[in-house]
Amino acid sequence: MRDTSTVQKSIARALVWFRRDLRADDQAALYHALKAARQVFCGFVFDTTILDPLPRADRRVEFLVDSVADLDDQLRALGRSHGIEGCGLIVRHGPAASELPRLAQSLGVQAVFTNHDDEPDALLRDSRVRGALSDAGIALYTSKDHVVFERDELMTAGGSPYSVFTPYKNAWLRKLTPFFVHAYPVARHAGALAPLPADEALPTLAQLGFERSNLHQLKLPTGSRGAAELLDDFLDRIDAYGEARDFPAVKGPSYLSTHLRFGTVSIRHLAREAWQRMQGGSRGAEVWLSELVWRDFYHQILHHHPHVVGRAFKPAYDAIRWEHGKHADALFEAWCQGRTGYPLVDAAMHQINQTGYMHNRLRMVVASFLVKDLGLDWRRGEAYFATHLNDFDLAANNGGWQWAASTGCDAQPYFRIFNPVSQSLKFDAEGRFIRRYLPQLSALPDKLIHAPWLARPVDLVAAGIELGRDYPTPIVDHDDARQRTLARYAVVKQA
């Protein structure tokens, strides 16, 4: 049965433009379009502006292709639930700034509905799309969907954006009511979904010009079905999250970050689950909710301070002189390849290189090591993560790197420098994580695996290890590096 309220709708035809919101359930733009229009088409563009620079085997593209297919299935099922056959997703491949307006015109729609994306490149793209649509007499309507609170929704008493997390979090929690995490009832209005035009088919990975990665060997589930599977698993252990999340060899995190990045799960759903469990007394849920608030925080920082893309949040820190030249390049290459001689750092880099994932505690450790042990520009590490992380999100990645480099808002003070050996002893005491990614060190006793260069020759021989052959000696002395870092950051104190 079609929605009986369609006769009252002001728009005859509309198009929903999916981007980083690849789900049919609790999807703001889809809901608003279904409420406003008598016929609603759904579209997605594999944007070559984004895809062309990527390596041909990219786990994120494969995740995206699978999740688009999953969304197509969801839309078809929604249509069938209202007696409409042949619904689904219209997919295009090309520059979104031109492909989307062209699709909208070919469908004869009066409006396009989409959700906000506050990344600078996305805003520029959307501005071009809005202009092209306007020239064709088509309206563009946008909604909040990717965060709980965005843009100007949370401001200080003086009307300025927050730049310190704890006051922001307190304001976030004060403002939160069931309204802000209530799900949009998309299914109730899905009778407005329109059947696909003739000859529409989803492109394959190969047709997009990409090759298979090791995504499926890693068993990272894709699409909304995959997100639901991971969430169900996490909710069974969420109470322990506060303690377990810091230990990389333990199954502590939710592993939902890639799904949040591509919107295959609703942030409202996750925040609602965490908030309800926190109110029920779960300390783990409280800590997890705080991590979701950090995500909102970094997105509002990006919105209000777009200069953080490429520059320090605190301008004085742009005066820091980072190591450069061939020696700096060699240090960076060793960091990238996991050949620094510090096992926890190297194991973490092997993890990201092999899987596209890195445990959050280790992201802080390797970032601190790059910036404060090697003296390299944080932007080099930020760009490396942007290329390799399955869950790459500009706001969170930039915020995390600037936090580690002490250049960002509410950042770690510059004189606090992670000791990679101390971090290893504290969070991987038995060396389980190190052994997983550095099997050549497996035979070392637990107490020696964190700093092999301190082992006696007899212990190295017993473990079958020759430093410099089987595993590198440290490329930098941490204590010496600490002193150089304090001197390097002195320029900030003098500013």
pLDDT band at 7 (very low <50, low <70, confident <90, very high): very low
pLDDT tens digit sequence for 380-411: 999 999 999 999 999 999 999 999 999 999 87
181: left (phi over 0), alpha (psi -120 to 50) or beta: alpha
- Is 401 an active-site residue? yes
- The percentage of residues in the chain with a pLDDT greater than 90, rounded to a whole number, is 95
Quick one: pLDDT at residue 494? 58
Q: Which residue of the set 150, 153, 286, 291 is catalytic?
A: 291
Calpha distance 306→182 (Å, rounded): 30
- Is 360 an active-site residue? yes
Q: Which residue of the set 150, 200, 360, 419 is catalytic?
A: 360
Mean pLDDT of 260-266: 98
Q: Which residue of the set 200, 322, 323, 419 is catalytic?
A: 322
pLDDT tens digit sequence for 170-215: 999 999 999 999 999 999 999 999 999 999 999 999 999 999 999 9
Q: Is the pLDDT of residue 4 over 50?
A: no
Q: Is the pLDDT of residue 245 over 70?
A: yes
Quick one: pLDDT at residue 412? 81
Mean pLDDT of 481-491: 94
- Is 335 an active-site residue? no
Q: Which residue of the set 275, 335, 401, 403 is catalytic?
A: 401
Quick one: pLDDT at residue 411? 78
- Is 288 an active-site residue? no
Average pLDDT along the chain = 96
Q: Which residue of the set 115, 378, 398, 403 is catalytic?
A: 378
Quick one: pLDDT at residue 154? 98
Q: Give the up-direction half-sphere exposure of residue 21: CA atoms within 13 A in the CB hemisphere.
A: 27
Q: Is the pLDDT of residue 6 over 60?
A: no
pLDDT band at 128 (very low <50, low <70, confident <90, very high): very high
Q: Is the pLDDT of residue 2 over 80?
A: no
> Which domains are assigned to the chain?
4-145 (3.40.50.620), 147-183+224-304 (1.25.40.80), 315-490 (1.10.579.10)
For residue 263, give every residue at least 6 positions away whose Cβ sits within 8 Å of its Cβ, in sequence order, or none: 19, 20, 21, 22, 23, 27, 115, 145, 146
- Is 291 an active-site residue? yes
Quick one: pLDDT at residue 117? 97
